[in-house]
């Protein structure tokens, strides 16, 4: 879905982004920057989920489950 939006953009920042992303139109530069930001955020979310899953997989080796399940744990 596309929509027309009017925004104020820092011209120096736009020129830097155009140079970094290979030139092109303002629209192409903004779309590429948004695409890269979304991809980076999604990759980070996936990385964190994988790290958490790996930690939970190792959790049994890091704690004594029998102690956690016993009354001893809560004294």
Q: Flag whether 6 is in a domain.
A: no
pTM (2 decimals)? 0.66
Q: How many domains does the chain have?
A: 1
Q: Is residue 27 part of a domain?
A: yes
Residue with tokens 């990759």: 43
pLDDT digits (tens, 9 = 90+) for 14-69: 999 999 999 899 999 999 999 999 999 999 999 999 999 999 888 878 888 788 78
Note whether residue 4 is domain-resident.
no
Instruction: Note whether residue 3 is domain-resident.
Output: no
Range of the domain at 19: 11-74
22: left (phi over 0), alpha (psi -120 to 50) or beta: left
Domain presence at residue 2: no
> Is position 23 within any domain?
yes
The answer as to whether 1 is a domain residue is: no
């Amino acid at each position: 879905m596309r929509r027309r939006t009017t925004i104020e953009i820092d011209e120096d920042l736009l020129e830097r982004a155009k140079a970094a992303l290979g030139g092109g139109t303002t629209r192409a530069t903004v779309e590429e920057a948004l695409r890269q930001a979304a991809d980076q955020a999604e990759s980070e979310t996936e990385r964190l989920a994988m790290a958490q899953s790996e930690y939970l997989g190792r959790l049994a080796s890091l704690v004594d489950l029998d102690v956690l399940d016993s009354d001893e744990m809560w004294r």
